[in-house]
Amino acid sequence: MTTVIDFLNTIFWQYILIYGLLGVGVFFTLRLGLLQFVHFGEMFRSIIGARQSDKYGISPFQALCTSLASRIGTGNIAGVAVALYLGGSGAIFWMWVVALVGMATAYAESTLAQLYKVQDSKGQYRGGPAFYIAKGLNAPWAGAIFAVALILSFGLVFNAVQANSIADAMQSAFGVPKLWMGGIIAVLAGMVIFGGLRSIARFAEHVVPFMAGAYVLLALVVLVMNYNEVPGAFLSIIRSAFGLEEAVGGVAGSMTAAMLNGIKRGLFSNEAGMGSAPNIAATATPTPHHPSSQGLVQATGVFIDTIVICSATAIMILLADVVEPGSGITGTQLTQQALEVHIGVAGQYFVAIAILFFAFTSIVANYSYAENALIYLGLDNTIGITTLRIIALAMVVWGAWEAVLTVFNAADASMGLMATINLIAIVLLSGTVAKLTRDYFNQRKKGLVPKFKSEDFPELHEKIDQTIWK
């Protein structure tokens, strides 16, 4: 089993997805007319005043915060440190690049999720890749495969990974036993997820801005403390990205290392194209009432995750000058070392608390994605939802106590499968995305508040829920 899983991960993550995710990002960037650059202001405009929800859906701001809760995880702390250790400072430049093109992919998949959303048995909006694959491509079987893969990876195993990170950090910083920590996390997570989708959305709306804001604020303090060295750090990122610094030192292949590690960590962090964030994007009542508006909101999420949060970690590490190739000190430990240089022993505790917030919010948000997938499979009854919640919380306790590499690798393979299916689907549906985008911005040019009118899209009449878009 281990051999098969490792083979699948090699195929997915060294060949298909690294190039596929980047290639699809470039494809949508060009097809949508450099949307994330030309209409950058519109992306942030879509968030302003987007706090209104109704009895059918959560607010766009809540959807953004929930997707950020999933995106902003241990990868923003440990993953960035690994990229710097393996790829040098230039890896950060390539993380920026993959995020900028990934914004177009995130826009496309969340726009489609909005368009093809449905209402569940309680009248709440639901949707995501499984739904637009089934409805848009008339391939319900592929949607089912996607849904099962998402439940296995995001709903179960990845939550064990996040719990393991919390348990390690809290044991290291405060001496809390791992099993106790797992139980505490499970109880707190259960209090949120048993309240349903709206409970998860409200939790994310209040916690995510606080945790992200506190982290960025510390990074700004570090920048001020080391303002003389800031220009040199950014210059190092640019020079290293193209192998200029390493070429002087005679290290061959460093540009390739920077590029590959930056792209990998960027993709893992912002999840653009993975098919995860569209699951929560579909549950929002868009403001304005057009599928593209929620696509713009979720594209902003990629920017915040990578360009803001990941850069905050990177700059704190670079200004501390603690990266030593070959030392073996990487991941969370490297980030802790950097903050200890800046703020003393408090740095270790700050990183532990940051991991607690980042990973815990990921657990809650990841569960919401899995619940969406379960609803697609027709298991949206009390028994099905309750069973998923109990198993998800049990995985949290287990993950905190024990890390089994084969199971985690299986989750990577599962995510690789769902991402591959999603990428194929959004490319095949790219014509619809382009038409929706033109419609949205044509209305903006006329001074109108964009509104989706199904009569302008006769080819979609049999595929979308007319009662939602009436």
Question: What are 322-342's pLDDT values in tens digits?
Answer: 888 777 788 888 898 999 999
pLDDT for position 296: 96
Nearest alpha-carbon partner for 358 in 160, 73, 155, 166 = 73
Structure token pair of residue 200: 């998860």
Decide if pLDDT at 79 tops 80: yes
3-state percent breakdown (helix, strand, coil) of the chain, nearest 5: 75, 0, 25
Cis omega (within 30 of 0) on the bond before 129? no
Nearest to 300 by CA among 34, 99, 51, 21: 99
Q: Please, which pLDDT band fits residue 407 given cuts at 50, 70 and 90? A: low
Mean pLDDT of the chain: 89
Number of H helices, E strands in the chain: 23, 2
Nearest to 148 by CA among 379, 361, 428: 379
Diameter of the chain by CA atoms? 65
Nearest to 223 by CA among 157, 154, 108, 316: 316
* Cβ count within 10 A of residue 265: 28
Residue type (1 letter), 14:
Q
Q: Assess whether pLDDT exceeds 60 at residue 252.
A: no
pLDDT tens-place string over residues 155-199: 888 888 888 888 888 888 888 898 899 999 999 999 999 999 899
Interatomic CA distance for residues 115 and 401, integer angstroms: 41
pLDDT > 90? residue 3: no
Q: Pick the more confident residue, 468 or 5.
A: 468
The residues near 317 (Cβ < 8 Å, ≥ 6 apart) are 80, 81, 84, 323, 334, 335, 338
Output the pLDDT for position 253: 45
Looking at residue 404, its pLDDT comes to 64
**Owner of token pair 């192998």:** 243
Q: Do the beta carbons of residue 348 and residue 198 sit within 8 Å?
A: no
Mean pLDDT of 102-114: 97
Q: In 313-352, which positions are buried (b, 16+ CB within 10 angstroms) versus exposed (e)?
A: bbbbbbbbebbeeeeeebbbbbbbbbbbbbbeeebbbbbb
Contact between 258 and 86 under an 8 Å Cβ cutoff? The reply is no
Residues ≥6 apart with Cβ < 8 Å to 458:
none
First to last CA, the chain: 50
Per-residue pLDDT band at 144 (split at 50, 70, 90): very high
With cut-offs at 50, 70 and 90, classify the pLDDT of residue 24: very high
| pLDDT at res. 268 | 78
- The Cα-based distances of 137 to 140, 347, 425, 458 in angstroms read 8, 50, 7, 16
Looking at residue 96, what is its pLDDT?
94
Closest CA to 238 of 322, 300, 318: 318
Q: Where is average pLDDT lowest: 245-249, 343-347, 411-415?
A: 245-249
Q: Is the pLDDT of residue 18 over 90?
A: no
CA distances from 2 to 313, 402, 405, 438 (A): 33, 18, 9, 47
d(CA 388, CA 192): 14
Average pLDDT over residues 21-50: 92
- Determine the Cα angle at 421 with ends 127 and 461, to 5°: 45
Give all domains of the chain, ordered by start, each with its CATH number.
Answer: 44-447 (1.10.4160)
**Per-residue pLDDT at 172:** 81
Question: Tell me, what's the pLDDT at 385?
Answer: 92
CA 300 from chain centre, in angstroms, equals 11
Judged by average pLDDT, the poorest of 141-145, 151-155, 189-193 is 151-155
3-class DSSP assignment, residue 227: coil
Q: Is 122 helix (H, G, I), strand (E, B) or coil?
A: coil
Encode pLDDT of 287-322 as tens digits: 899 999 999 999 999 999 999 999 999 999 999 988
Q: DSSP assignment of 237-265, as one string?
A: HHHHHTTHHHHHHT-TTHHHHHHHHHHHH
Helix pair 405-428, 2-11: axis angle to 10 deg: 30
pLDDT band at 248; cut points 50, 70, 90 = very low
- Whether residue 81 contacts residue 332, with contact meaning beta carbons closer than 8 Å, is answered with yes
- According to DSSP, the residues that pair with 284 across neighbouring strands are 58
Answer whether residue 143 shows pLDDT above 90.
yes
| pTM metric for this prediction | 0.92
pLDDT digits (tens, 9 = 90+) for 357-379: 988 999 999 999 999 999 999 88
Res. 460: pLDDT tops 50: yes
pLDDT of 28 above 70: yes
Residue 380, judged by CB atoms within 10 A of its CB (0-12, 13-18, 19+), counts as: middle
Strand blocks (E) in 61-220: 118-119, 125-126
Is residue 263 pLDDT above 60, yes or no? Answer: yes
Helices (H), 252-345: 254-270, 278-281, 291-302, 311-320, 331-343
> Percent of the chain, pLDDT > 90?
57
Q: How many CA atoms lie within 13 A of 255 on its CB side?
A: 10
Q: Are 271 and 299 in contact (CB under 8 A)?
A: no
Q: Which two structure tokens, joined as six digits, stand for 111?
A: 């726009």
The mean per-residue pLDDT over the stretch 108-133 comes to 94
Measure the CA–CA gap between 130 and 372, rounded to whole angstroms: 9
